[in-house]
Chains A and B, each alone.
Chain A
Amino acid sequence: MMNIPILSLLICVPTLGALFILFTKSTEKYNSHKYISIFISVINFILSIYLWYNFDNSNPSFQFVEKREWIYGFINYKVGIDGISILFIILTTFITPLCILSVNSTIKNRLKDFLVAILIMESLMIGVFCSLDLVIFYLFFEGGLIPMFLIIGIWGGERRVYSAFKFFLYTLLGSVLMLVAIIYIYWISGTTDVEKLYEIGIDAKYQKILWLAFFSSFAVKTPMWPVHTWLPDAHVEAPTAGSVLLAAILLKMAGYGFIRFSIGLFPIGSEYFVTFVYVLSLIAIIYTSLVALMQVDMKKLIAYSSVAHMGFVTLGIFTMTQQGLEGSIFQMISHGIISAALFLCVGVIYERMYTREIKRYGGIVEVMPKYSIILMIFTLGALGLPGTTGFIGEFLILIGAFRDNFLVAVIASFGVILGAAYMLWMYKRVIFGELINKDLKNLVDLNKSEIIILTLLAIPSLYFGFYPEPLINTVEVSVSNLINNYNANLEIYTAHNE
């Protein structure tokens, strides 16, 4: 394999781009900054595809590992990927250029700062997905708070200050306990290197408490019921591009964290708390679906649907079955694409009408036929119609759940029905019916760039819906390796106790 530090490049390129933009000037007429940042993020996307191309699916260990001494004798800068993380990296590099592309007249002031924030965000998110040291992971994980706080706070809607504060303080509160846990892991195991910790394992008697500390951070970020309340607020107030980043990638950091750290490092803790996670996930699925039904604001509805979908994800992860885990990863990727697209769709009509209230719309199929078709694709994707990625994810998760616990699976299935209900109902109220509101008559259909962005999102969502093989193949070996490790650990533990 080649010797270029490709992962570090992936992390650094957006930051360097952001610095470049920060120190250059742009004219009103020709906005070079936007093109530069699109260029940079596309380069990153190409790099990540190159990474995927060179990635060895059959190898369960970490690949492209880079290691440098960072704090002597204590923490190493260590990055590497396996089948699970590579998909999230590609998701990140895929969504970011689209995000930047979608930035238009709505970001009126300080476009430059906005682009800088998004690019730095990209760096940090890629860092989260490939760091193999707990401290490095924490740095990336928490560092993301700063740009996101600014994105919501500066370019957000009316209640942006409240939402930005809520977002920041909730997540910070969740993660301080994780920091204590990370430091404690260092003192009991002598290292924070994830690969080494996988090998030597963590003393069983500490696993439950450490699991809880990590859980507190990931649960807030996922978000799981009952700490999900920051998400609707943050989504509603964030600008479209911010919502897209938040839904598509930021939420996935926690799901990824569950797989990589909670299950990987604390098998005994995870096993102990399975029921707990099941209960919270089921509440999230059913309760937030019901809440979504009652929403009057489209963005809020999609935000609540995100919570429900992430409920499926956590459920699938903790079934600890091959199908459940693959399904969860698939669901995260699928949700990343579909929710991004849905937020963009809401953004499209918001930019025309400056309202997201569902009842102000109705019958816009008459004036916006193209929009209606595209929104249809993503609505069906969100409710998990066969032929879209949403279906594969939910289906695999439910198979996994049935293998583990019949009752849980049955209850979760109701969530699927509710999901169909609120998505279709929203679609009906917005698109069909009679065109009552006079203002709507002047609506203009999608313009070229909007069509390009949304089509680019629709293609993978349909393609992988019909042909999920490439994604499943990539994760398969890593997931089975993870599950084998997990079971081996549990066996040792039970044998030890007997």
Chain B
Amino acid sequence: MITDIYYVIPEIFLSLGLMFLLLLGVFKKNGSSVVYNLSILILIISVPLILNVPTSVELLIFNDSYKIDYLSSFIKILIVISTLFVLLTSSQYLKSIKIFNVEYPILIISSIIGMMVMVSSNDLIVFYIGLELQSLALYVLASFNRDNILSSESGLKYFVLSALSSGLLLYGCSLVYGFSSSTNFSQISFNYDQSTQGIIFGMVFILVGLAFKISAVPFHMWAPDVYQGSPTSVTLFFAILPKIAALTVFIRFLYTPFLNLIDQWQSIIIFLSIASMLFGAIAAIGQKNLKRLIAYSSISHMGYALAGLTTGTNEGIQSSVCYISIYLVMNLAFFSCIFMLKREDKYYENIEDLAGLSKNHPLLSFSFLIVLFSLAGIPPLAGFFAKFYVFMAVIEQSMFFLAIVGLLATVVAAFYYLRIIKVIYFDDEVDKYDTNLSIGLKLSLIITTTLILIYFIYPNSLIDLVSKINLV
């Protein structure tokens, strides 16, 4: 038991760091920027700690309730690094809208501890604890700008709907426990009788709860409002981190306890995937607000990530993980661009505010161009490869309907990305934006855009990493 602790050092380190920051925040006056910088430091230190955890074999610790394998470490690294970027890009934003408080980085860290528990969980109860830890922090974050009515609304909305979905999830968990008399993922698959309806009911409830977390259609209703209302930095956090974690949990559930029920869940996931791809693409067309637009866009991106999971193969899982990794880089780049639309402490987030951006800010517009074409999946940018891998896996299983619908949805989606490019490049200019931006923001924009642009030169870099994920 005590040796098991060795494998959870990263989580423990983050938790201790979190408590330390909390104390520091309480006792030190005006300590917000110290806490902010220290939390960045803590995240940086936790990266080598995660790398240090051996992943060559799959390990089950704490009475088989916690799983350490390559997938969990890979996703944890993704989570920590993207959180790092989120913090780097958003400090200036937080300062200018005056919510640069001590609690902000602390809430973010506590939420990612929840996610790390989620992706490693091998037990219904551990999983649920992780989920609630991340969700509770997210409720607060959504309404963090409490003087803003939209922000409060989004926090409340997210709380109510998320609690509902957690309820469904919990009900599903209890059904699964009832019909398999175990909460352990590995045990469940041995214990249930495939012919009983109860276990399928339980599985459907769990899938619904998870679909809510990644905002797959038809459980997406909260996403546009929450994305729009939350402070932009929180929207960025929402757009990537909970989705990575929830998608990994999807993989865990589908491929450990419910692998034998593949015939049952495959059609559900195909439906979720097709509905998300199409709905996300069509609903985004009429949007005027960039944050709302990216909400719909992320709905459709989740559809593609789910498409990889429908296959029931290792290639499918790898392609989904690839997709989500490229997706998070694209979103980081997109939001870095949005953070740059600042004029005298006011941030702009409507598409029309981008009019003629290319005349005054050629480099920023070029980044927008790259990111948007990449999101649309046009070769040779990274976004194309993400889709390419998913469709490779899907077509291998001869699921042509899914592939063709997915690719047609990319054409529809291309339309609204093009519309933004049109506004940036073809329309007449408005006033200039500020150029005195923080180094962290500039750095993260440069890094992410370059990654998207030159990914095609050496695509093996990512493939090598994900090809070690072998679950089936």
Contact residues in B for A72 (Cβ distance below 8 Å)? 460, 463-464
The one of B378, B400, B426 that contacts A145, using a Cβ cutoff of 8 Å: B378
Would you call B460 and A71 a contact (CB within 8 A)? yes
Q: Which of A160-168, A347-355, A419-427, A486-494 lies on the face that meets chain B?
A: A160-168
Q: List which A163-196 residues lie within 8 A (CB) of chain B.
A: 164-165, 168-169, 172-173, 176-177, 179-180, 183-184, 186-187
Number of cross-chain contacts by CB at 8 Å:
82
Instruction: Give the CA-CA distance A179 to B404 in the complex, in Å.
Output: 10
| Prevailing SS type, chain B contact patch | helix
B407 near A: Cβ within 8 Å? yes
B90 to chain A, nearest CB (A): 30
Q: Which residues of B contact A109 (CB under 8 A)?
A: 359
**A-facing residues in B374-402 (Cβ within 8 Å):** 378-380, 384, 388, 391-392, 395-396, 400
- Segment at the interface with B among A148-156, A278-286, A297-305, A379-387: A148-156
- Pick the interface stretch among B69-77, B303-311, B409-417, B430-438: B409-417
Selected from B379, B421, B463, the residue in CB contact (under 8 A) with A142 is: B379
Decide: B378 and A165 in contact? CB cutoff 8 A.
Answer: no
CB distance A160 to B460 under 8 Å? no
Among A71, A150, A154, the residue within 8 A (CB) of B459 is: A71
What is the size, in residues, of chain B's interface with A at 8 Å between Cβ atoms? 32
B343 CB within 8 Å of chain A: no
Which residue in B400, B407, B415, B418 is a CB contact (below 8 Å) of A176? B407
- A180 and B407 within 8 A (CB): yes
In the bound complex, do residue A139 and residue B380 qualify as a contact, i.e. CB atoms below 8 Å apart?
yes
Check B410–A176 contact: CB distance below 8 A. yes
Chain A 110-125 against B: per-residue CB contact (8 Å), 1 yes, 0 no? Answer: 1001000000000000
B408, B411, B459, B460 interface centre (most CB from chain A within 10 Å): B411
> In the complex, what distance in Å separates the CA atom of A113 from the CA atom of B359?
11
Report whether A161 and B422 are in contact in the complex, using a CB–CB cutoff of 8 Å.
yes
**Which positions 321-380 of chain B face chain A at CB distance < 8 Å?**
358-359, 362, 373, 378-380
User: Interface size for chain A: under 10, 10 to 19, 20 to 34, or 35 or more residues?
Assistant: 20 to 34
Q: Determine if B403 is an interface residue (Cβ-Cβ < 8 Å).
A: yes
Q: Determine whether the beta carbon of A143 is less than 8 Å from that of B395.
A: no
What is the chain A residue whose CB lies nearest that of B391?
A: A183
Using known A-B contacts A173-B411, A176-B411, A187-B396, determine if residue A149 contacts B459 with beta carbons closer than 8 Å.
Answer: no
- Nearest CB of B to A208, in Å: 15
Chain B residues within 8 Å of A177, by CB: 404, 407
Interface: A62 (CB within 8 A):
no
B380 touches A161 (CB 8 A): no
* Docked CA distance A70–B378 (Å): 19
Knowing A143-B379, A146-B373, A187-B396 are in contact, say whether A165-B425 is a contact too (CB < 8 A): no
Complex CA gap A172/B417 in Å reads 13
**Is A183 touching B373 in the complex (CB atoms < 8 A)?**
no
Residues of B within 8 A of A179 (CB): 388, 391, 407
Q: Which of A135, A139, A153, A176 contacts B408 (CB 8 A)?
A: A176
Query: In the bound complex, how far is the Cα of B218 from the Cα of A335, in angstroms?
Result: 52
CB distance from A11 to the nearest CB of B (A): 12
CB of A287 within 8 Å of the partner chain? no
A150 and B379: CB pair below 8 A? no
The binding surface of chain A is classed by DSSP as helix
Q: Does A402 contact B (CB under 8 A)?
A: no
User: B456 to chain A: which residues have CB within 8 Å?
Assistant: 139
CB distance from A149 to the nearest CB of B (A): 7
- Chain B CB within 8 A of A432 CB: no
Say yes or no: B426 contacts A139, CB within 8 Å.
no
Q: Which of A153, A168, A176, A186 has the most CB of B within 10 A?
A: A176
Contact B415 A165 (CB under 8 A): yes
A168 CB contact (under 8 Å) in B404, B407, B418, B460: B418
Contact A153 B425 (CB under 8 A): yes
Supposing A153-B422, A161-B426 touch, asked if A183 and B463 sit within 8 A by C-beta, the answer is no
Q: Which of A109, A142, A177, A179 gathers the greatest number of chain B CB atoms within 10 Å?
A: A179
* Contact residues in A for B395 (Cβ distance below 8 Å): 180, 183-184, 187
Known contacts A71-B459, A154-B425, A161-B426; A142 and B415 CB within 8 A of each other: no
Identify the closest chain B residue to A69 (Cβ): B460
A138 at the interface (CB under 8 A from B): yes
Contacts of B415 in A (CB 8 A): 165, 169
- Which residue of A160, A183, A186 contacts B426 across the interface (Cβ within 8 Å)? A160
Contact with B along A217-231 (1 / 0, CB 8 A): 000000000000000
User: In the complex, which residue of chain B has the Cβ closest to the Cβ of A184?
Assistant: B395
Query: Do B418 and A183 touch across chains, with their CB atoms under 8 A apart?
Result: no
Task: Please report the C-alpha to C-alpha distance between residue A72 and residue B359 in the assembled complex, in whole angstroms.
Answer: 42
Mark contacts of B446-472 with chain A using CB atoms, 8 A cut-off: 1 yes-contact digit, 0 otherwise: 000000000010011001100000000
CB distance from A191 to the nearest CB of B (A): 14
Q: With contacts A150-B425, A154-B426, A165-B415 known, is A138 near B460, CB below 8 A? A: no
A172 to B413: give the CA distance in the assembly, Å: 11
Q: Which of chain B's residues has its CB closest to A183's CB? A: B395
CA distance A186 to B464 in the complex (A): 20
With both chains docked as a complex, state the minimum distance between the C-beta of A110 and any C-beta of chain B, in angstroms. Answer: 8
B376 to chain A, nearest CB (A): 9
Contacts of A145 in B (CB 8 A): 378
Residues of B within 8 A of A160 (CB): 426
Q: Provide the residues of chain A in CB contact with B388, threshold 8 Å.
A: 135, 179, 183
Residues 240 to 274 of chain A near chain B (Cβ within 8 Å): none
A68 to nearest B CB, angstroms? 11
Complex contacts, B459 vs chain A, CB 8 Å = 70-71
The minimal Cβ–Cβ distance linking B453 to chain A, given in whole angstroms, is 11
**B414 engages A153 (CB within 8 Å):** no
What 0/1 readout, one digit per residue, does chain B (109-143) give for beta carbons within 8 Å of chain A? 00000000000000000000000000000000000
Q: Which of B362, B379, B422, B459 has its CB near the most chain A CB atoms (within 10 A)?
A: B379
Give Cα distance in the complex from A165 to B285, angstroms: 14
Q: How far is the CA of A183 from the CA of B358 in the complex (A)?
A: 37
B418/A180 in contact, CB under 8 A: no
Q: How far is the CB of A370 from chain B (nearest CB, A)?
A: 36
Contact A139 B404 (CB under 8 A): no
CB contacts (< 8 Å) of B408 on chain A: these are: 173, 176
Nearest residue, chain A, Cβ from B426: A153
B378: chain A residues at CB < 8 Å are 142-143, 145-146, 172
For A178, give the chain B residue with the smallest CB separation.
Answer: B407
Q: How far is the CA of A110 from the CA of B424 in the complex (A)?
A: 14
By a CB distance below 8 angstroms, the chain B residues around A135 are 388
**A365–B325 Cα gap in the complex (Å)?**
64
CA distance A186 to B378 in the complex (A): 20
B387 nearest CB neighbor, chain A only: A179
B residues near A150, Cβ cutoff 8 Å: 425
Chain B residues near A153 (CB, 8 Å)?
Answer: 421-422, 425-426
Within the assembled complex, what's the spacing in Å between the Cα atoms of A150 and B396?
35
Check if A165 sits within 8 Å of B422, measured CB to CB.
yes
Q: Do B391 and A172 touch across chains, with their CB atoms under 8 A apart? A: no
12 A/B residue pairs, CB under 8 Å, sorted by A: A71-B460, A113-B362, A135-B388, A142-B378, A143-B378, A146-B373, A149-B421, A161-B422, A176-B410, A177-B404, A177-B407, A179-B388
Could you list which residues of chain B lie within 8 angstroms of chain A, going by C-beta atoms? 358-359, 362, 373, 378-380, 384, 388, 391-392, 395-396, 400, 403-404, 407-408, 410-411, 414-415, 418, 421-422, 425-426, 456, 459-460, 463-464
Nearest 5 CB-CB pairings of A with B: A176-B407, A139-B379, A183-B395, A142-B379, A173-B411
Instruction: Please give 8 more A-B residue pairs, beta carbons under 8 A apart, in addition to A176-B408, A180-B391.
Output: A139-B456, A142-B378, A146-B373, A168-B414, A169-B418, A172-B411, A172-B414, A180-B403
